[in-house]
Structure formats: structure tokens, C-alpha cells
Amino acid sequence: MLQSIIFDMDGTLFQTDKILELSLEDTFNYLRSLDKWHTVTPIDKYREIMGVPLPKVWEALLPDHSDEVREQVDAYFLERLIENIRSGKGALYPNVKEVFSYLKENNCSIYIASNGLTEYLKTIVHYYHLDNWVTETFSIQQIQTLDKGDLVKKIIERYDINKAAVVGDRFSDIKAAKDNELIAIGCNFDFAQEEELAQADIVIDDLIVLKTIVHNM
């Protein structure tokens, strides 16, 4: 049986799409109010790169804007995300809490490793009471390289983890598992891409399947 599972947050545990478009629209309306954006909100572009750290998001969405403007946008976007979570506009994916309870009961420790910002992750964990099961949540902000593989390595070293899996929906999660010689479990959810999932060891369509996977490993 697996000793530990390291979960991604966005698009894996949390249905980010429920607040993503809303928060992004708020943010670009803010830019429009500053006369620094004059076209449609690039939601499709964001969906394509979903899963990368936010600094890289703003480089892609605002290539012609200054670092100062990107920092302003980053702060405003975080505020909108947090407010929308606290307003109950987001949701966990089906069976998150059932799977977490099962893992905890079977002595499989749970960690979160996310490209999301620390305050954003804290808000989700607190709002949905995930700290009832999760040992610790790690943000990409804790790693200078902004490399999820390094973030997962930090978890492994801190908790002396040997037999574990990384569960996530994007290539950064799969690569993080492979870089650390862990099992890569791809989630075929909202933001997943077929060519990325093809590189996972296992692909699931529902988190509930983890109960069987964990038990058989």
C-alpha cells in the first residue's frame, strides 16, 4: 500500500473553473478601468496554460506590460479568487472528502503540492476543512525555482517519504512524480490534456478510483 499521496490542487481537488473565469474577468475589468487593457479577457489562453505558476501566467497573458503592472494584476487576481472562494462560488471535485477519509483511515498520509499561491491555498483548505486530513500544504512560492519537481522533493525530504504517488491533472504534476521516482497518476478532469496524460503511469476519471489504486499498491 502507498505510504503517501501528494495532490495537486487546481483542477485536481478544487474545481477552479467555477471561479476562474469570474475572477479573471474581474481582473481584466480592473485593467480596463486603468486603461491598460482594451480587448476581450483571454480566458481561453489561460485555460491552455492552467497549472503553471502565476508569474508565468502574467508573462503569457500580459507580454507587453511592465513587471509593476503584472504584480498589481497578480495581487488583484488573488484578492478576487479568495473572495469568490469565501463566497462559496467554488467547489471540490466529487469524492474528495470520501477519498481523504479512506486514505487517513488506512494510514496513507496526504500532502498538497500546488503552483497556487500560499494565501489562496490556505483559503481553500480552511473553507473546505481539508486540514482534517491533509498533513501539510505546499505552495510553489516556497521554492525559488518555481519547479514543482523541487516542491515535491521538499515534501519527500521533510517527511522521509519512500513509496508515494503524485496525483494531478497537468504535465507539471506528472513530471514532478517522474523527477522524484514516484508514481504519476493523471486526472482526466477539466483542464487535462490528452498528450500530457499519456505520460502518466495511471489515468483516472474520478478520484474515487484512488481507493482501489492505493489498496493494491
Torsion angle of C-alpha atoms 151, 147, 125, 99, degrees rounded to 10: -70
Q: Closest Cα to residue 113, out of 89, 144, 134?
A: 134
Q: What confidence score (pLDDT) does residue 55 get?
A: 84
pTM for the predicted model, two decimal places: 0.90
Q: What is the pLDDT along the chain (217 residues), one digit of tens a residue?
A: 789 999 999 999 999 989 988 999 999 999 999 999 999 999 889 888 877 778 889 999 999 999 999 999 999 999 999 999 999 999 999 999 999 999 999 999 999 999 988 999 999 999 999 999 999 999 999 999 989 999 999 999 999 998 999 999 999 999 999 999 999 999 999 888 999 999 999 999 999 999 999 878 7
The full set of domain ranges for the chain reads: 4-15+91-216, 17-86
Phi, psi of 95, deg, nearest 5: 75, 10
**Domain at 4-15+91-216: CATH architecture:** 3-Layer(aba) Sandwich (3.40)
- Indicate the burial class of 212 (C-beta count within 10 angstroms; 0-12, 13-18, 19 or more): exposed
Gap between the Cα atoms of 86 and 80, Å rounded: 10
Q: What confidence score (pLDDT) does residue 135 get?
A: 97
